[in-house]
Structure formats: structure tokens, C-alpha cells
Amino acid sequence: MQTRKILVVEDEKILALNIKNSLQKLGYDVLEITDSAEKAIKNVAEHYPNLVLFDICLTKEINGTQVIDIIQHKFHIPVLYITEYSEYIKLPKNQLSHPFSYILKPIRESDLHLAVEIALEQYQNYLNLQIEKQKIAAIINSMACGVVVTCNHGCVQMMNPIAEQLTGWQQNEAIGKDFTDVLSLVDKDMDEVIGNLAKQAVQIGEVVNLPENCMLISKEGKEIPIGDNIAPIRDHHGRITGAVLVFQDITQRKLTELQILRNAFYDGLTGIPNRTLFLDRLKQAVERSKRRSDYRFAVLFLDLDGFKGINDRFGHSMGDDFLVAIARRLESCVRSCDTVSRFGGDEFAVLLEEIKDINDVINVAKRIQDTLGLPINLNGNQIYTTASIGITLNHSHTNEPESILRAADSAMYRAKQQGKARYDVFNEPTNC
């Protein structure tokens, strides 16, 4: 093992010589005995010793703690303080709070050996800790998600660059602040502010997941959907020392989910509900009618008259534009609580809710016929159309959505057989 080098800074010559002799006897390499702060800094810069023994009351002309601070923080070399007890008790407590301790005069060889070894070991532990902290910081800072570390009281201790970017807070201004001051979170589903999740994770000692629809309100007021969780931090004894929040901006994921939802339940051409969503709403209407004796609904099934001829004459692209225009006109004929759906091709369905009687439904059917009878202007062409409409009400003949739809479809075919621009009401078959 390499002999450790020590610099002694002491202006009492006899004491300094005794310290040097004791250190050499103990196997240390004493570089030099220095009696001034200026020489001390010069020697440190030239030789970089493993430890400096420094008389904190070396001179009245200079603050010894200022010199020590230079040695420790500029050159990163540990310092073991030498002082009289009478001088020690006069010093502010923060001046001798450094972890590498101090030694009081008069100095016994055994005390000197112990103090030097402790100072060297503590400094090596300090270096190892700093290396580990740097590794952890490098890992956290390189993560592609936001990371916020708190103490067990829920105050911020560390943030990585992604967390700074998302919250709008810089780490230096966030440290020491309450978790909720830096991370303003809202549960959009419950429409309520989320409390200090760091404290919650510490108290229960378990991982806490962010709500499904969690929104981060940044320092600038920007709303950002985020996801992930916050977990308690435990030391090697299993004691909880804080919490760590790992989170990420899930805006793109939400947009993707929304697009998947639209693809699953909405017609890609017209943007109105498709057959799947229509049947789901029809099922809800059926269940509602079971609970409420005064609730009535009706289904209209529409098939455009002569749509094939429009496609053949103007082409499929014009035909698609025509269907989009038809969807808008159908929506204009009903209320916001009703549902207009495209089943594919030129087939549409309408769910009318909260109706009084058949007259309400017939009035809507007539309104649709009148609206569709108006010309549609596309690329300089005026296109006319009509529709055959089948109607069924929520009679007692069935409670199955598919059966109700088949009834409306059957009535539509009867209307089409009678000629264009007609409607027909499904009549429940009677037992003979």
C-alpha cells in the first residue's frame, strides 16, 4: 500500500516537530512542516497530500477556516483541524462541523493516530459516496422520463432535466419546496386536485400509481397528461428515507388511444357513429326502457334511393363526398341526444330517444325526406336523392338490439318496394 502523505501546518515549532515525529513513527510520509497559510496553499498545490493537519488559529491576520475551505473545496483534500480547547469553544459551530473532525491540543500520539485514520477513512467514504451520487445522478439525468426525488416529508430534493422541462421548474428553485408546489396534479376524472403523493407513498410504504386521467399543470399553466407512479425510497436497513416520482408525458399515447377509439366506434368516412357504437347506444336505450315505463325510443333505418347511379355517373370519390354531405344533413334533422349512424355503403340508422309517440317519429322521417330532397352541390354538380326509411318503436316484441334493427330494416324494404322517398312503420305481428 502506498504511504500516505501528510502536510502539517503549525506555527508552534516544538508541537509541529512532535507531530512530525509521531506521524513518521506511525508510518506516514510527512511532506513538510509549514508555518503560514500562504505556504500551506502553495504546498498543497505542488504535492497534493492525502491529508492536511492545520492549526485553525495559525495567525490572527487571516481566517484559518477560509484557508481550510480553499484546501477542501478547490483542491479536494481533507483537513484535520488542530486547536486549543479554549479556542474551540469560541468558534461558531458551523466552522467545525466538517465530517473529518478535529483534534485538540495537547496531542497524544494514540489520539493523533486515531484522528488521522478516521479522517482518511471518512474522506475515502465521502469520495465513494460522491462517486455513487454522481453515478445515480447520471442515470437519472439520462432517463427519458421525468424523475423527482423527495425527502420523507414530501419536499423536493432532486429533479432531472425532463422533470424540469415538463414542470417548468428548475432544480435549484424547486429544492426544498413541497411536492405539490412543484408538481400541481389534477385528477380529471374526479375533477379534483391531487394531494402530496410523496407523503402518501412514504406513509403507506407502497408504490402509488398516478390516476388514469392525471393532468400536470406546469409552472406556465400548461396542461400535460402524465402517467406512471411514485414509490418509497428505502435505505439498506429498509427504512423509508423519501420517495421518487417517475412520470412521462403521455399526450401522444392519449391521442393514439383516442384514434383507436374513433376507429373502433366511428365511421372513417363521415365521422359519425358506426354500427358497433349504434348498437351499444341502442342497448342502453333498451335497458333504460326497462327501468322507466315512460321512456320510449324509435329506430329509423335508411337506404338511399339510386346511390349506385350516383357512383356510376360521378365516380366513387364524388360518391364519398356525397355520403359525407348526407351525414351532415341527417344530423341537422335530429336533436343532440339522438344518434345518427352509418352502417356502410349508403345505409344509415337513426336512434330517437325520449319520444312521446309515433307522430314524433313520423315528423322526423318527413323532415329527413324534405332535407334530402334538396339538391346537394358538389364540384359544380347538383345532385338529388331520396331515401327509403323503415321505422320501429320499442314495442314489447323484442328487447334485443339486433332484433329491433332487423325490424326497422324489414320496414325499410317494404317502403322501398312501394317506390322512392317513402317510409314504413314496422307492425308487430299478432298471434292468430
Most confident of 56-65, 129-138, 258-267: 258-267
Query: Could you give the percent of the chain with pLDDT greater than 70?
Result: 92
How far is Cα 70 from Cα 77, in angstroms, rounded to an integer? 9
**Per-residue confidence band for 1, with pLDDT thresholds at 50, 70 and 90:** low
Query: Could you give the percent of the chain with pLDDT greater than 90?
Result: 55
What single DSSP character describes residue 144?
S
- 3-state DSSP percent of the chain in helix, strand and coil, to 5: 45, 25, 30
The pLDDT value recorded for residue 430 is 42
**Per-residue confidence band for 312, with pLDDT thresholds at 50, 70 and 90:** confident
Q: What ranges make up the beta strands (E) of 346-385? A: 347-353, 376-378, 381-383
Amino acid identity of residue 268, one-letter, is G
pLDDT (average), residues 216-225? 95
Q: Is residue 259 within 8 Å of residue 271, measured between CB atoms?
A: no
Q: What ranges make up the beta strands (E) of 111-239? A: 146-151, 156-159, 184-187, 192-193, 208-209, 214-217, 223-234
The DSSP bridge partners found for residue 49 are none
Place of cell 485553525: 56
Considering the chain, tell me which residue range(s) the CATH 3.30.70.270 domain(s) occupy. Answer: 266-425
Kindly state the cell numbers that stand for 304: 338511399
Per-residue pLDDT of 139-153, as tens digits, reads: 778 888 999 999 999
The pLDDT value recorded for residue 86 is 56
The pLDDT value recorded for residue 33 is 85
Share the mean pLDDT of the chain: 88
More confident residue, 35 or 201: 201
- What is the distance between the terminal CA atoms of the chain, rounded to a whole angstrom? 111
Beta strands 381-383; 5-9: pairing state: unpaired
Q: Among 141, 151, 182, 163, which Cα is nearest to 247's? A: 163
How far is Cα 58 from Cα 53, in angstroms, rounded to an integer? 11
The pLDDT value recorded for residue 12 is 86
The pLDDT value recorded for residue 38 is 82
CATH annotation of 144-250:
3.30.450.20
Q: Which of 67-81, 140-154, 253-267, 361-375 has the lowest mean pLDDT?
A: 67-81
Per-residue pLDDT of 163-190, as tens digits, reads: 999 999 999 999 999 999 999 999 999 8
Q: What ranges make up the beta strands (E) of 155-285? A: 156-159, 184-187, 192-193, 208-209, 214-217, 223-234, 240-249
Measured in degrees and rounded to the nearest 5, phi and psi for residue 174 equal: -90, -25
How far is Cα 351 from Cα 299, in angstroms, rounded to an integer? 5
Quick one: CA dihedral 236, 50, 60, 14, positive or negative?
positive
Considering the chain, tell me which residue range(s) the CATH 3.30.450.20 domain(s) occupy. Answer: 144-250
pTM comes to 0.59
CATH fold for the domain made of 5-137:
Rossmann fold (3.40.50)
Considering the chain, tell me which residue range(s) the CATH 3.40.50.2300 domain(s) occupy. Answer: 5-137
Per-residue pLDDT at 429 exceeds 60 = no
Q: Which CATH class is domain 266-425?
A: alpha beta
Per-residue pLDDT at 272 exceeds 70 = yes
Q: Among 119, 48, 47, which Cα is nearest to 82's? A: 119
Helices 37-47 and 64-73: crossing angle in degrees, nearest 10, is 10
Per-residue pLDDT of 46-100, as tens digits, reads: 989 999 988 877 655 556 677 888 888 888 888 888 877 656 555 555 555 554 5
